[in-house]
Amino acid sequence: MCSTCGCTGHGQGTQIQFFVTGYDEKNSKEVEEKLLGLPGVLYVHIHTHDGETTINYNPAKTRLSELTAVFEQRGLQAAI
Amino acid sequence: MEVQVMEDILGSNDKQAAENKKIFDKYGILALNLIGSPGAGKTSLLEKTIGSLKGCMRLAVIEGDLFTSKDADRIADKDIPVIQINTSGGCHLDAMMVQKVLNKLDLANLDLIIIENVGNLVCPAEFNIGEDAKAVVLSITEGDDKPLKYPLIFKEAAVAVLNKIDILPFTNFDMANAKHDMNCLNPGISIIEASCRTGDGLETWCNWLKNTVQIKKERMKKTNG
């Protein structure tokens, strides 16, 4: 996390990008909030218009399947 | 290769943090890691907290700062045990630093140790020091965008104190937005609006501390027999 001092830690995590079909203004906000509430998810950015969804998360705390479940539960299709 | 070294450092820290935790558990002490930006009001909150809780529980403070003993001097005026750790430029406390000073405290006669970390919203959130809980202090002057910009600490903290609410009318801080973002990141977080200057919210904060100390004591009584 801290590049100036060189220390780093568990929060560093992994960035993953999905392309999601089926977003609208309402469900994209819901997805963003639901993803942010998962353990280890630190950042979510969604482009509603083209479905680009960027997530920074810690795989030790949340599995990939838990991320994709958030899309599936709303009938959204996500591809990496 | 470089990553392996980093992992080793963190692994060592986590091992030492687990040892610290065992010590806190053995004595039934609640250890609170107090984190926030420089100027958020961590030391002011501590001063007010000590004033309120000194009569009803036994507490000590470990102060983390890059340099000087200015904060420890303020706490020492409250007549409770206080230890200063100077990190000499280091941006956070780690478990080893805390371990080295624990033997200077009369642990058998404490209920609560508050460890004020170095003023920084980033690095202290990454390093477990053996605490039972993290508390984050965010002041109104820092802006309501900070939870999403510095998510880890808000994700990790059990409680967030929104300090300096007395100046809220003079800022564009959006309280609802700040709370919404914190709740999104950490649905279980307790959020307390407070002002160390006026005293607003401090009773709620102290009650949260008393309750958390009590829960720890009861849990450790059951565990330790």
- Structural domains in chain A plus CATH codes: 14-79 (3.30.70.100)
Residue B125: C-alpha distances to residues A72, B21, B78, B119, B157 (Å): 32, 17, 28, 11, 9
Domain regions of chain B by residue span: 2-219
B186, A2: Cβ pair inside 8 Å?
no
Query: Which residues on A lie below 8 Å from B152 (Cβ)?
Result: 1, 11, 42
Is the pLDDT at A39 greater than 60, yes or no? yes
| Cβ atoms of residues B113 and B105 within 8 Å | yes
Per-residue confidence (pLDDT) for residue B8, from 0 to 100: 57
B residues 144-183 near A, CB within 8 Å? 148, 151-152, 155
**Å between A50 CA and nearest CA of chain B:** 23
Shortest CB distance from A42 goes to which of B92, B152, B187?
A: B152
A5, B186: Cβ pair inside 8 Å?
no
Query: Which residues on B lie below 8 Å from A11 (Cβ)?
Result: 125-126, 152
Q: Decide if A3 touches B, using CB distance below 8 A.
A: no
Shortest CB distance from B91 goes to which of A5, A37, A42?
A: A5
> Of all residues in chain A, what percent are helix, strand and coil, respectively (each to 5)?
25, 30, 45
For A41, name the nearest residue in chain B, comparing CA atoms only. Answer: B185
Shortest CB distance from A1 goes to which of B90, B123, B187?
A: B123
Superfamily of domain B2-219 in CATH is P-loop containing nucleotide triphosphate hydrolases (3.40.50.300)
Per-residue confidence (pLDDT) for residue A5, from 0 to 100: 65
Determine the length of chain B.
225
pLDDT category, A1, cuts 50, 70, 90? very low
**Interface size between A and B, measured as CB pairs under 8 A:** 46
Average pLDDT over residues A51-65: 94
Is the pLDDT at A69 greater than 90, yes or no? yes
A5, B90: Cβ pair inside 8 Å?
yes
Is the pLDDT at A3 greater than 90, yes or no? no
Distance CA B150, CA B201 (A): 24
Is the pLDDT at A38 greater than 60, yes or no? yes
Q: Which of residues A65 and B3 earns the better pLDDT score?
A: A65
Per-residue confidence (pLDDT) for residue B4, from 0 to 100: 41
Per-residue confidence (pLDDT) for residue B1, from 0 to 100: 42
B126, A36: Cβ pair inside 8 Å?
no
Measured at the CA of A62, the angle between CA A1 and CA A75, to 5 degrees, comes to: 120
Is the pLDDT at A77 greater than 50, yes or no? yes
A9, B155: Cβ pair inside 8 Å?
no
Q: Decide if B92 touches A, using CB distance below 8 A.
A: yes
B123, A5: Cβ pair inside 8 Å?
yes
Q: Decide if B96 touches A, using CB distance below 8 A.
A: no
Per-residue confidence (pLDDT) for residue B9, from 0 to 100: 60
Output the pTM of the full model. Answer: 0.90
Which residue in B93, B97, B126 has the most chain A C-beta atoms within 10 A of its own C-beta, making it the best mutation to test that interface?
B126
Shortest CB distance from A11 goes to which of B126, B184, B186?
A: B126
Our measurement of the distance from residue B200's CA atom to the centroid of its chain's CA atoms, rounded to an integer in Å, reads: 19
**Each residue's pLDDT expressed in tens, for chain B with a length of 225 residues:** 444 444 556 688 999 999 999 999 999 999 999 999 999 999 999 999 999 999 999 999 999 999 999 999 999 999 999 999 999 888 999 999 999 999 999 999 999 999 999 999 999 999 999 999 999 999 999 999 999 999 999 999 999 999 999 999 999 999 999 999 999 999 999 999 999 999 999 999 999 999 999 999 999 988 877
